[in-house]
Amino acid sequence: QQQVKQSPQSLIVQKGGISIINCAYENTAFDYFPWYQQFPGKGPALLIAIRPDVSEKKEGRFTISFNKSAKQFSLHIMDSQPGDSATYFCAASKTGANNLFFGTGTRLTVIP
């Protein structure tokens, strides 16, 4: 059973546009929601993370929006660049547990 559902599977965005990736979860015990960026042949790198006590977190061009009542969170990449082309994974975990539950990934392609 997929604990975290992610969409879309793939996304093509023009340079300068906004990339939006969505995730949804069922387990209300989850209280940590990170996003990872992975380039081909490399391990995932932590991009940005949020806890449910805030509804939004922004770091540079990357913003996480969090909707606790809907059990959804999303990643927004502003002014998308070709260098942002990668696979993005959302994840979730809960206090007292070490392991992360990953979404299925979104392959982002930013066209010049």
Partner 1 sequence: GAVVSQHPSRVICKSGTSVKIECRSLDFQATTMFWYRQFPKQSLMLMATSNEGSKATYEQGVEKDKFLINHASLTLSTLTVTSAHPEDSSFYICSASQGMRAGGSSYEQYFGPGTRLTVT
**Among 53, 70, 83, 95, interactor with partner 1 by CB under 8 A:** 95
Asked if 10 and 65 touch (Cβ cutoff 8 Å), the reply is: no
Which of these ranges, 15-23, 36-44, 67-75, 77-85, lies near partner 1 under the rule CB under 8 A?
36-44
41 binds partner 1 (CB under 8 A): yes
Asked if 71 and 28 touch (Cβ cutoff 8 Å), the reply is: yes
User: What is the DSSP-derived secondary structure letter of residue 61?
Assistant: T
**Among 31, 57, 65, 76, interactor with partner 1 by CB under 8 A:** 31
DSSP β-ladder status, 106-111 and 10-14: parallel
Shortest Cβ 16–partner 1 spacing (Å): 27
Element (H, E) at 49: strand 45-50
**Binding-site ranges for partner 1 (CB under 8 A):** 31-32, 34, 36, 41-46, 49, 89, 93, 95-100, 102-105, 107
